Amino acid sequence: MAYRGRAIAYASALWAAAVAPLVAQAAPGAAPKGVEEPRARGFQRILWMHGGPAPSAELFAAVRQLGFDAVQVSGGAPTQLPGQYGLRYYHDQLCGKGVLELRAAQYEPLVAAYSRDRNAAVLQRPNCLSSLDTLTGLIETARVRLDTTLPTHPLAISLGDEISITRHANPLDLCVAPDSLRGFRKFLEARYGTVERLNQAWGTDFDVFARVLPFSADAIRQRELGGARLPRNLAPWAAHREFMDGELARVVWCLTEQVKRRAGGLPCGLTGLQQPSAYGGHDFARLLPNLTLFEAYDHGAARDLAMCLAPPEALQLATLFAPKSGEPPQLVLARLADMVAHGIWGVVVWSSGEVFRADRRPSTFGGAVAKAFRELARPAAAFAGARLRRGPVWIVESQPSVRAWWML
């Protein structure tokens, strides 16, 4: 534990020294006058604009008629439109796609290349998270989009949606790009002090830190699994996953600090978080502490875990999807009621293409959403942003145990 603490402290200090000038340059001085606003009160009903009828005055009137009071604006899209029609908005994916969230066109060729001959040298993440060039690019993108969005008063900002080291929680041993390896070796040197201690802990024979390489899942399985006994030592693989989790968390920390300097108390965070896994970087204990807005997909107990690890003042969003084929429409009310009971600040309904028909009339799902909004109006207003009083039962969760479980 002492090694782990020193390594984390060293890595945090190293990144803080490197990124502080970048954040200051991107967000000089205090927040612009008139930008900071109090958090929106009450329960937020947000429609995700994707598919369906083209945006128009008639469509936005239909959106309001169903009970929505906001929509989402993504990436670099214009932010003025919702306000022209009496709606507010939350700015999703401020940093866009392709860096915090890899696109399929970026990720799938990596999987194919590695699958051909299992050569770990190809496992280099596009837009390496350890690269200052990557961080500088993200900061600049955020700066430009904050300049546009803050004057139009968003409800909240999501830096990214479904962000990941890989893609979602898919397993791939990213990243061994040069910048990542340099950071990883410094991380190990801070943890172990000498290469001899590292070799003792890992069961390896590296001569210097400069030649240390992480083990892929394939390599550690070849060494540790296949017999009748449980593996004795997963450290050469697990340490790399821990390091990469930290790299994603530090990039997110830097970006949230930038928004705080520009917009003060405007809720800012991440949406579409996957459940904790060995891959993806979804270590809630590291990702959530600096966020004031979050959404964790409700897989297993992931939502409740996120609520326990996020700051008490952080606001929670949840996405409401249409029932699958064969499921009763009453599920819409039940699912929204469950969200309200968990004290969420707002629901994001997916999507305009599911809620409206081509003629802008509500679909069956859209009608069920409107009915649920009406029936839950009073409890939703009362419980929005509430803090749950937890029971006396404790469940211990740790990211190292998540990694070990995945490997076994």
**DSSP per-residue letters across 150-206:** GGG--S-EEEEES--SSSTT-------SHHHHHHHHHHHHHHHSSHHHHHHHHT---
Q: What is the DSSP letter of 25?
A: H
**pLDDT confidence of residue 338:** 97
**pLDDT confidence of residue 39:** 62
User: Long-range pairs for 78-87 at CB < 8 Å and ≥24 separation?
Assistant: 79/148, 79/149, 79/152, 79/154, 80/152, 81/55, 83/152, 83/153, 85/57, 85/60, 85/61, 86/60, 87/60, 87/63
In the 3-class helix/strand/coil scheme, how is 126-147 assigned residue by residue?
Answer: CCCCCCHHHHHHHHHHHHHHHH
Q: Which is more confident, 132 or 36?
A: 132
Structure tokens, 144: 């430009």
Is residue 29's pLDDT more than 60? no
Is residue 36's pLDDT more than 90? no
387-403: pLDDT as tens digits = 888 888 887 889 999 99
- Of 24-28, 180-184, 361-365, minimum mean pLDDT range: 24-28
Structure tokens, 331: 């599920």
- Decide the pairing of beta strands 346-350 and 44-48: parallel
Q: What is the DSSP letter of 376?
A: T
Is residue 78's pLDDT more than 90? yes
Distance (Å, whole) CA 12 – CA 399: 18
Is residue 19's pLDDT more than 70? no
**pLDDT confidence of residue 391:** 82
Is residue 179's pLDDT more than 50? yes
User: Long-range pairs for 67-70 at CB < 8 Å and ≥24 separation?
Assistant: 67/369, 67/370, 67/373, 67/374, 68/349, 69/44, 69/45, 70/44, 70/45, 70/46, 70/155, 70/346
DSSP string, 232-245: S--HHHHHHHHHHH
- Per-residue pLDDT band for 363 (boundaries 50, 70, 90) equals very high
- Per-residue pLDDT band for 165 (boundaries 50, 70, 90) equals very high
**pLDDT confidence of residue 228:** 78
> Where is 272: in which H helix or E strand?
strand 268-273
Is residue 195's pLDDT more than 90? yes
Buried/exposed 185-217: b ≥16 CB within 10 Å, e otherwise: bbbbbbbbeebeebeebbebebeeeeebbbbbb
Distance (Å, whole) CA 376 – CA 351: 20
Within 8 A by CB and 6+ apart from 352, the residues are 47, 48, 49, 50, 51, 52, 53, 59, 63
Is residue 59's pLDDT more than 50? yes
- 2-407 has which CATH code? 3.20.20.80
Residue boundaries of the structural domains of the chain:
2-407
Distance (Å, whole) CA 199 – CA 207: 9
326-350: pLDDT as tens digits = 999 899 999 999 999 999 999 999 9
Task: Say what the pTM is.
Answer: 0.90
**pLDDT confidence of residue 392:** 84
Average pLDDT over residues 194-199: 99
Structure tokens, 178: 């040069």
**pLDDT confidence of residue 396:** 80
242-291: pLDDT as tens digits = 999 999 999 999 999 999 999 989 999 999 999 999 999 999 999 999 99
Give the chain's end-to-end CA distance (angstroms, integer): 23
Average pLDDT over residues 190-203: 99
Backbone angles phi, psi at 326, to 5 degrees: 95, -15
Q: Which is more confident, 124 or 230?
A: 124
**pLDDT confidence of residue 23:** 46
Q: Which is more confident, 191 or 26?
A: 191
- Of 31-35, 206-210, 319-323, minimum mean pLDDT range: 31-35
**pLDDT confidence of residue 65:** 98
**pLDDT confidence of residue 26:** 42
Average pLDDT over residues 358-367: 98
**pLDDT confidence of residue 230:** 87
Percent of the chain predicted with pLDDT > 70: 90
Distance (Å, whole) CA 314 – CA 67: 25
- Per DSSP, the three-state class of 268 is strand
Distance (Å, whole) CA 375 – CA 372: 5
